[in-house]
Structure 1
Amino acid sequence: MKYDDYKALRIEQDGSILTITVNRPEAKNAINHDLHREFSLIFDDVDRDESVDVVILAGSGGAFCAGGDLKWLLTLHGDPVATSAGIRQDRKIQNSLLDLEKPIIAKVDGPAIGLGCSLALYCDFVYASEHSVFADPHVSVGLVAGDGGAVMWPQLIGYARARRYLLTGDAISAPDAAAMGLITESVPADALDETVAKMAKRLAKGATHSIKWTKASINAGLKVTANAVIDRAAAFENVTQLLDDHRIALEAFQNKEKPKFTGR
């Protein structure tokens, strides 16, 4: 498998370990059109790559992924054709992550926000530096959490805690996220690379078919839940992308102001 067509994602392979790095450091790896499209394709390509047994997902430049790029989101606002195309890609991203049998390790250094947070939480292991933060602030920009948060947060930390964070958009520090079971482990920043590499090598040297099919068995139940949630959450998110409150929030954040929502 060749990955030469990927630009927003940097793909590197060491033996049977493939590292996918979000490569927009100038924008804290925020999701734009190109990056969103590549994420909708990459996990299916990895699934077909017989040379890969383990995947590491990382960010560049001191951030994992800062969520949706505000400029890109503004270009989508009010355009039902464009927003529905984006929602369709969201569903492809989520389903391809759940379908991928090869274990995925998220290496989080810095903010993991919105879709960036969902990408991390869909991984099988999430290791984060102690200064990292996790948040799904869709409601803060007038959107429904339709790209995975409504699926993963309740499964990982329970419905009461999930509501607490999804309905407010509040952030969680990596140590707190680890303590409540949202992520696997919070480690000192200077130990992150070694921690992730150690687990990746351990999995790559293990009984790879047994590991893959155990993951597939675990995900079988999760996929049932996801199928019940994804389409509804995505549909609601698509609707909110057309509302005034979403535009108001995007413009306010661009101007470094607090949004004044109208409920429309």
Structure 2
Amino acid sequence: MLTFDEYSEKYPCIKMERQGGILQMTTHTRGDTIQWAYDDTNLYPGIYYHLGEAFHDISSDVENKVVIWTGAGDAFSGPRPSGANAPPRTARGWERPNWKGRHMQGSLLDIDVPIICAVNGPALKHADLIFLCDIVLAADHATFMDGHMLCNTVPGDGAHVVYPLLMGLTRARYFLLTSEVISAEQAKTDGLVNEVLPREKLMDRAWELAEQLAEKPPLVLRHARTLLAQELRRRMLDMQGYGLALEGLANMDDQPEPILQRDFPGVTQVKLRTELKE
């Protein structure tokens, strides 16, 4: 098991700090909004890999009492950057992102202390991870979407598990099939978000809640998280592998080509870092 000092500096796209047992992790790309690349490149760290490993390190550290997860820049998560690796189109090639997806979400659910997600702006990529956390706070300008269908990809990496459970089946099917963009207030109405706050008050509220929780006995915190996440774990175990298999199968079809880059609704709200030259 790594100590906090060892793993907190390990990941190029995750800034970690801890005070009084409360660990705050901020995902970023070069200090700005995270760009979702599969693998490390000279411009972008492979967040798919690093998040799963970071969640594992956090879950293994018994000194952590509460986790706060937020994003850098004007958005919680941006789309995949141009020049990022395309989804593989063979069975052998699909195995790596298949494993990464299961590891990323499984490791997040394996963190056995309460997790507060402070959504600092639009969540354009993998917003489903937000809703595996226990408490979700959103800035009032935040928006949420699932872009799988927008990009000609099956929403089978866990979105098909998370959204029907939290939103209800009929509402979730519409949300996923249309790549609907919903506001923070709508997300609260739909049961995805607990509180909507002005951006400048978001982190203060996250720390206020974290400090309240951190006063509880450690075993109470750990066993409460384990209990309250169990239904998500069970459903993910039952259905994620099947969903990833169908997503991969569709990606192997000659037509239509999965779309890496396109105009995401709401993306103009995000101050995205331009690609840097070496």
With the length of structure 2 as denominator, give the TM-score of the two structures.
Answer: 0.84
Tell me if structure 1 keeps the 8 A contact 2:188–2:196: yes
Report the equivalent of 1:108: 119
> Does residue 58 of the first structure (1) align with residue 61 of the second (2)?
no
Structure 2 residue 41 is the aligned partner of structure 1 residue 29: no
Deviation for aligned residue 1:221: 2.4
Deviating 4+ runs (over 4 angstroms): 251-254
In structure 2, the CA distance between the partners of 1:121 and 1:67, relative to structure 1 (3 Å rule), is farther
Q: Unpaired runs of 5+ in structure 1?
A: 255-264
1:68-83 equivalence runs, <5 A:
68-74=80-86, 76-83=87-94
Q: Helix, strand or coil: the match of 1:247?
A: coil
Deviation of 1:155 (Å): 1.1
Letter of the 1:137 counterpart? G
CA contact (8 A) 1:57 1:107 kept: yes
Aligned pair partner of 2:198 in 188, 194, 207: 188
Aligned to 1:137: 147
1:243 is paired with a residue whose SS is coil
- Counterpart of 1:6 (choices 2, 5, 11) is 11
Q: Does 1:224 align with 2:229?
A: no
In the TM superposition, residue 80 of structure 1 has moved relative to its aligned partner by 4.0
What's the CA shift string for 1:173-198, capped at 9, x where partnerless?
00110122111111111211111110
Q: Could you tell me how far apart the structure 1 residues matched to 2:17 and 2:102 are?
A: 25
Shift of 1:157: 1.1
Deviations 1:110-138 (A, max 9, x none): 111231x0121111111010100011110
Output the CA distance in 1 between the equivalents of 2:262 and 2:138. 30
Q: 1:246 to 1:97 in 2, by over 3 A?
A: farther
Whole-Å Cα distance in 1 between the matches of residues 15 and 206 of structure 2?
18
Distance 1:71 1:215, change over 3 A: same
Match of 1:162 in 2: 172
- TM-score for the superposition, normalised by structure 1: 0.88
- Corresponding residue to 2:53 among 16, 25, 41: 41
Question: Which is worse superposed, 20-29 or 106-115?
Answer: 20-29
Report the equivalent of 1:257.
Answer: none
- CA separation of 1:27/1:238 partners in 2, compared to 1, >3 Å: closer, same or farther? farther
1:40 Cα deviation after fit? 1.5
Structure-2 separation of matches of 1:73 and 1:40: 18
Q: Which 10-residue stretch deviates more, 16-25 or 239-248? A: 239-248
Deviates more, 1:242-251 or 1:63-72: 242-251
Compared CA separation, residues 60 and 85, structure 1 to 2 (3 A): same
